[in-house]
Amino acid sequence: MGITVTADSAAAVLATPSTIAVPEGGTADFSVKLSKAPTSNVTVTTARTSGDTDLTVSLGASLTFTTANWNTAQTVRIAAAEDTDQTSGSAEFTSTASGHTSAKVTATEVDNDVTGGDNEYIKRFTAMYNKLKDPANGYFSPEGVPYHSVETFMVEAPDHGHETTSEAYSYYLWLEAAYGKVTGDWTRFNAAWASMEKYIIPATADQPTNSFYNPSKPATYAGEWDDIKQYPSKLDNGVSVGVDPIANELKTAYGTSDVYGMHWLLDVDNTYGFGRCGDGTTRPAYINTYQRGPEESVFETIPQPSCDTFKHGGPNGFLDLFTGDSSYAKQWKYTNAPDADARAVQVAYWAHTWATEQNKASQVSATVAKAAKMGDYLRYAMYDKYFKKQGCTSTGCAAGTGKDSASYLLSWYYAWGGANDSSAGWAWRIGSSHNHSGYQNPMAAWALSSVDVLKPKGTTAVADWTTSAKRQLEFYRWLQSSEGAIAGGATNSWQGHYAAPPSTLPTFYGMAYDWQPVYHDPPSNQWFGFQAWTMERVAELYYATGNADAKLILDKWVKWATDNTTVNTDGTYQIPSTLVWTGQPDTWNANNPGGNSELHVSIRDYTTDVGVAGSYAKVLMYYAAKSGNATAKNVAKGLLDGMWKNNQDAKGVSVPETKADYRRLNDPVYVPAGWSGKMPNGDVINSSSTFLSIRSFYKNDPDWPKVDAFLKGTGPAPSFNYHRFWAQVDVAVALAEYGRLFP
């Protein structure tokens, strides 16, 4: 037997995080420890080795590590002196020890000599930012990809915490844009976009056969069904499909057939083991879950690779679980979540605006141009799934011939795919027929149609986004309940297969009202978070432009929301959580909008959710900054102050969450009788499968014992203090923006 001798790894000083932001006149910390046990005491000294002399070591300049405490982190504190300039200086600090490799940390001053800089909320943002960027807290993978959550035992829209979403990436951009605003350093915003482009926007190699796409035959029809047992859904060439009116102008504008949009879901750690195109190892890996109609809860999904080479699953990979055909080809396919791409555009607007104020627009111009490009492709979300004309009520309805298939709203998704084999020569694209109020972003639509650096190159793009900006605001007004909350949405394909909707349903430009568009388990518009997310964009638009329709919507919504919010003197608070809808809106008449006297919302229960509270606070602060509404400002301040007082922890902010819905981890996952296959780790997929049985890795999770006890009936419903990336960023950005808006 051969024996290989390798050199022992060199002893090193370890410092985390490698970058910190320091409020001027304040301090920020980093941690130091050793990489291996020493044989005797080791002294670590930290000193500034280059950069701004206003940044100094105020604590921990000399630290002693022993054979017992070498692996216990000790604190080095950096102070930023008060000065009168208006620049955010940086300095490099080096921690050294004899016989050890040194560690370097870059500290950037957050200047308080600019408007809003000398502000408690900017300091709080800085503290949150440092926590989020500290590798020890676990928000980012080794590749620098933001996880959906720090915690791994997480089942909600993503079915594992160390997956990530296009949503998380859009929030990563937002975090770094706010950082650029308070420090003047735009390298991190650009780096966040570069990471997004590298890992979650498919490269040419990941979408290799787009050149075969035929815009006159975008895709083959397959119906959606309420009953999951009606899957796989049969492909039907007999149903007419309309023409894709933007493919050729996009190809002309950008010189490529590739689609520039994010896929919605990544397996960052390759937990499932699909890898890239079945290689089993490449990470992050493109995956998908939902595929089978509105009743398919996350607990009933079957994860599958976005590039299906038949290496895993059954004889046809996973394809024949979802669509019914006579034969199957190895293929790639991606699904875009339009709200995330729109958020990326929205953030790019602020990055451009703030960098321009700092005379640094040129530093973000290349990234902002990419946001404009993303907005060009985002128009696929405006189109009916099969490019049918708006107002469709049967599979025999007319195919679209141009823009007559556009709703000019942001639908639930767009998707694209094609053959792995270039000799096979085919590709497809679809929009979506379902439009949810929570996905709309009139701020992004306005930016793409009105801000020169964000106007896309597609010949009809500016006109499309001009129409969309107006149409989205009409959509909100149509869906606004008597009380003020915004109802679900509308569809151009009733039940997902162009059925005739009930004749009693009101319509919006031909589309039927749907109180729970897209998914029903749970109902898609019962979560108050969608209200906060979507109204935040309306409030930004109002703040930036003074749009009168936006104000009209917000006047009513803000009163309803604040009337149902409690902020106590001790900082505890509660905000709406689960909404209940009754009645329906009036049929939309743009010339004479109705009052929706028959559309009502009530609140079933309340929450202390930090992410939703952060987003909600932003709605209130943008509205207050423009309108002068004192109640909105005070409630926003109360929420932010309350979270800061009561909900801080070492990783950010959090509150306990009891997850009784985890009883569904043993729910059956529907697999047609006779179908059998395997996950990459060998978990069997068949008609006896459950959520857990095809995700056996969860039984190795550190949180499994308390979940297992709950499932066995020997323990209570498990409680978690989750740290979702989007939620932490919503709070961090709310703090930064409160400091900016109310200096």
Q: Which of 64, 94, 113 is the last residue of a domain?
A: 113
Q: Which of 98, 113, 128 is the last residue of a domain?
A: 113
The model carries a pTM of: 0.94
Contact 297, 664 (CB under 8 A): yes
Same domain flag for 453 and 561:
yes
Q: Which of 83, 134, 570, 701 is catalytic?
A: 570
Beta bridge partners of 430: 415
Same domain flag for 97 and 223:
no
Same domain flag for 253 and 352:
yes
Quote helix, strand, coil % in the chain, to nearest 5: 35, 20, 45
Which residues form the domain of 314? 195-653+728-741
Q: Which of 57, 82, 113 is the last residue of a domain?
A: 113
Average of per-residue pLDDT across 137-155: 98
More confident position, 86 or 643? 643
381 belongs to a structural domain: yes
200-230 per-position pLDDT tens digit: 999 999 999 999 999 999 999 999 999 999 9
Contact 100, 13 (CB under 8 A): yes
Alpha helices in 405-460 (DSSP H): 442-450
Average of per-residue pLDDT across 104-111: 92
User: Is 570 marked active-site?
Assistant: yes
Domain of 30: which CATH number?
Answer: 2.60.40.10
Tokens 């499994």 found at: 704
**589 pLDDT above the threshold of 80:** yes
| Backbone φ and ψ of 34, nearest 5° | -105, 155
Average of per-residue pLDDT across 82-90: 78
Contact 442, 230 (CB under 8 A): no
For residue 113, what pLDDT is reported?
A: 59
Confidence of residue 83 (pLDDT cuts 50, 70, 90): confident
630-644 per-position pLDDT tens digit: 999 999 999 999 999
For residue 7, what pLDDT is reported?
A: 45
660 belongs to a structural domain: no
Outline where DSSP puts E strands in 614-713. Answer: 648-649, 652-653, 657-658, 677-678, 684-685
Same domain flag for 358 and 490:
yes
Same domain flag for 207 and 68:
no
For residue 3, what pLDDT is reported?
A: 42
Measured from the Cβ of residue 518, the count of other Cβ atoms closer than 10 Å reads 25
178 belongs to a structural domain: no
Same domain flag for 108 and 205:
no
Confidence of residue 114 (pLDDT cuts 50, 70, 90): low
150 belongs to a structural domain: no
Beta bridge partners of 566: 574
Confidence of residue 1 (pLDDT cuts 50, 70, 90): very low
548-580 per-position pLDDT tens digit: 999 999 999 999 999 999 999 999 999 999 999
Same domain flag for 199 and 84:
no
Same domain flag for 68 and 206:
no
Environment class of residue 717 by beta-carbon count within 10 Å: exposed (0-12), middle (13-18) or buried (19+)? Answer: middle
Percent of the chain clearing pLDDT 90 (strictly above):
95
- Closest to 132 (Cα-Cα) out of 112, 111, 147: 147
Same domain flag for 466 and 612:
yes
Average of per-residue pLDDT across 89-113: 92
346 belongs to a structural domain: yes
683 belongs to a structural domain: no
Same domain flag for 637 and 732:
yes
336-345 per-position pLDDT tens digit: 999 999 999 9
Domain of 513: which CATH number?
Answer: 1.50.10.10
Average of per-residue pLDDT across 432-458: 98
- 50/62 Cα distance (integer angstroms): 18
Helix (H, G, I), strand (E, B) or coil at 667: coil
- 715/700 Cα distance (integer angstroms): 18
345 belongs to a structural domain: yes
Joined together, the tokens standing for residue 713 give 């009936």
Beta bridge partners of 677: 685
Query: What's the structural domain count of the chain?
Result: 2
233-265 per-position pLDDT tens digit: 999 999 999 999 999 999 999 999 999 999 999
**4 pLDDT above the threshold of 80:** no
631 belongs to a structural domain: yes
For residue 118, what pLDDT is reported?
A: 62
699-726 per-position pLDDT tens digit: 999 999 999 999 999 999 999 999 999 9
Beta bridge partners of 324: 234
Percent of the chain clearing pLDDT 70 (strictly above):
98
Average pLDDT, the chain: 96
For residue 8, what pLDDT is reported?
A: 56
Spatial neighbors of 6 by CB under 8 A, at least 6 apart, are none
For residue 86, what pLDDT is reported?
A: 67
For residue 88, what pLDDT is reported?
A: 77
Contact 300, 287 (CB under 8 A): no
Give the containing element (helix H, strand E) for 635. helix 630-646
Same domain flag for 295 and 432:
yes
Average of per-residue pLDDT across 499-514: 98
Joined together, the tokens standing for residue 202 give 């498919």
Average of per-residue pLDDT across 664-675: 98
Outline where DSSP puts E strands in 536-628. Answer: 566-567, 573-583, 599-607
Same domain flag for 84 and 206:
no
